[in-house]
Structure 1
């Protein structure tokens, strides 16, 4: 991927490539250079992972964001390696300046990306794509700077003690790869959980600046003029000052950015081990909003319409035992418990913090009817796929309700796969019913009909339907950069059964729905069928199609 500069063949080296005048023994100097390679490689990989993680969180579709960041960065590293060939005769000064600039760009990249998303994401037009363009720009800039490191470090290590090209490359890349391993493990297990993305990136930039500055000013200071040494010292101190100031202000910045995204009515904001959970409104007549990883999951303005449309058709048959996959907010269970002949409701929710919030928050627990105080409700904290896979294959549920995140979100694609619906079918009674929220129909019909095709591939007979009236003030799908003008205006659902094709009906024995009628459900089915895309292949674990 990177073509490092190889030293000249045996002969008289150029004047600028003479032996370095070191303050330490050459063996110690060589070790210090390799130690710097180790640190710089670790920092470089942290920058890379931080861009991938933040872009996946802000923009969505982690596969796409990882592909963009990695491919652009590797390409840019090649460009940086070529550009560094012109700097070999000032290798020490160039490396010191490069590391200071890399520390500044990499350390501030997360904050800049989040700022553009928070304050310009709802401007519309070209600004709606601002985070994407900034992501590419940072990937290019960081990649060029990282790529330039290797040729300059090769030059410096050869000036300490010249050796064959193969040996020098082996030493350099061994330190580089081990450093990348440490950085790759430190990001998810240390920096992200303890410091968060913004502070973690700033700390990494600080370490990067200190390592590069210490190597050049300590080991190769005699290669620099007095003026160059002072300039490099001032540059590094300025970078460290900027990063330290940003780290001190990061809490205020996050608070202001959160208000720019969610409004000033944020009541709860917490980062769980799985996702960010934000709760807004719900007091003084303001509608409640529940956001998971920045995507609107519950809106007090329209949640009744959504949950009635999700639950009511599925309860048209037998419904003594009900399984809710997702739905930790308790709102789907609230609709289920309106039916007096329900004997048991099992909820499988991956994030215990969501369940705890639904139990304890006064506004959310009031909205869900305090379902977690009902003895018929039992909660299992687990991934829905893993829970179904380990469950006994006994057809014990009359109704399964999949109230899961949007299928376009990468982490959710397995929950809309043929294998997943096969697992659901194992626990569904022969005449039981499964209902799935399959994303919006109008704005993403191909995704919706892929879900329906996948369910049919798993041996289920399907009845799709579409319900309008959705609050369009916030993006709920995989792309958080979509403003209100591009937010979905409807919900798409698929009702299915392993037996005959289920009919859409509010049910004669159940409670009367507030927002649905028999006629509106027939219209909802016709509206969905009018958008049908035939011949779509099923989505599987090894070939996701969302």
Structure 2
């Protein structure tokens, strides 16, 4: 029989590392931090890699899949954008996507906005993470802002060549996140794009909830964007297929997209494939709905899965 103290310890652990997202290999918790926004765990794996958890689920880390994700998030919108001087990133407190943006020599200014100062501090000061992101958040071209992304964009009249949004899915535990996925917010982003600019949004796991991905696509279209959904199939390595979307105020064609810097995982020869949504997801893909400031479309989808 498990005594009460052990049960309490397990329950407390699950607040920081969910059963579903617990590492397969042995690990050690380096830090547990409760912030006004989430419960953060810094975890070191047996192989030396580090994972950062938020409310029980992996947010980012120093693993190969973080590199693949960062390339997918950054290099598609940077290929679509006609200029690459001023970049806005909402989320990305780990600095990994910022590292990729800094590979473009013409970038003059990167603004990274995160609501949680602790996440940003980890990206700036946690040694394994700073080594992995190459000190990106401490770079002179980078300005970090601790603020809600929606509030920042509403009050800031600047225009950006690329806007990269990498934040968690809205849920019933965090309903306010829907305001960063809504038609109203996307209309605002459209006004904040410089001519020829591009927006990209992380759309969770296509293989688990394709209707989540298609609902973001439909919401962007309702806001007046031209969109290209894309995905990164890592089923063999990680058992997942990741969804993304790139959007602009002009028509987009996959055939005209050319990567502008060398990449390790995202290859020009595979661009046609990543812009083709597999047939096996199409049935649920048709079940899209529009996310607004007032409804809970994406949270409801997330809850079902």
| Aligned equivalent of 1:464, options 224, 229, 239 | 229
Would the aligned equivalents of 1:430 and 1:499 in 2 still touch at CA under 8 Å?
Answer: no
Q: 1:529 to 1:377 in 2, by over 3 A?
A: farther
The residue that corresponds to 1:517 in the other structure is: 267
How is 1:148-227 mapped onto 2 (pairs within 5 angstroms)?
Answer: none
The separation in 2 between residues aligned to 1:525 and 1:338, in whole angstroms, is 24
Say which structure is richer in helix: 1
SS in 1 for 2:297: coil
| CA distance in 2 between partners of 1:525 and 1:406 (Å) | 22
Cα distance in 1 for residues equivalent to 2:280 and 2:17: 40
CA contact (8 A) 2:254 2:272 kept: no
What's the TM-score once normalised by structure 1's chain length?
A: 0.48
The answer as to whether partners of 1:505 and 1:521 remain within 8 angstroms in 2 is no
Counterparts of residues 348-427 of structure 1 (less than 5 Å): 348-392=113-157, 394=158, 396-408=159-171, 410-427=175-192
Could you tell me which residue of structure 1 aligns to residue 302 of structure 2? Answer: none
8 Å contact kept, 1:506–1:517: no
Query: Structure 1 residue 275 and structure 2 residue 25: aligned?
Result: no
Q: In the alignment, what sits opposite 2:240?
A: 489
- The 3 A distance-change label for structure 1 pair 530 and 322 is farther
The count of corresponding residues between Structure 1 and Structure 2 is 285
User: Relative to structure 1, is the Cα distance of residues 517 and 351 closer, same or farther in structure 2, using a 3 angstrom cutoff?
Assistant: same
User: Is the CA contact (8 Å cut-off) linking 2:18 and 2:57 kept in structure 1?
Assistant: no
Q: Deviations over 1:344-388 (max 9, x none)?
A: 100010000001111111111111111122100001111111111
Could you tell me which runs of 5 or more consecutive residues in structure 2 were left unpaired when the two chains were aligned: 299-305
* C-alpha distance in 1 between matches for 2:65 and 2:236: 6
1:286 Cα shift?
Answer: 2.5
SS at match of 1:526: coil
What is the rounded CA distance, in whole Å, between the counterparts of 1:265 and 1:471 in structure 2? Answer: 27
Aligned counterpart in structure 2 of residue 333 of structure 1, from 98, 102, 105: 98
Secondary structure of 1:400's aligned partner: strand
Give the number of the structure whose residues are more often strand, by fraction: 2
Q: 1:314 aligns with which of 73, 77, 83?
A: 77
Change (3 A) 1:257 1:538: closer
SS at match of 2:275: helix
**1-side partners of 2:131 and 2:50: how far apart?**
11
Note the residue ranges of structure 1 that are not aligned, 5 or more in a row: 1-114, 116-241, 474-487
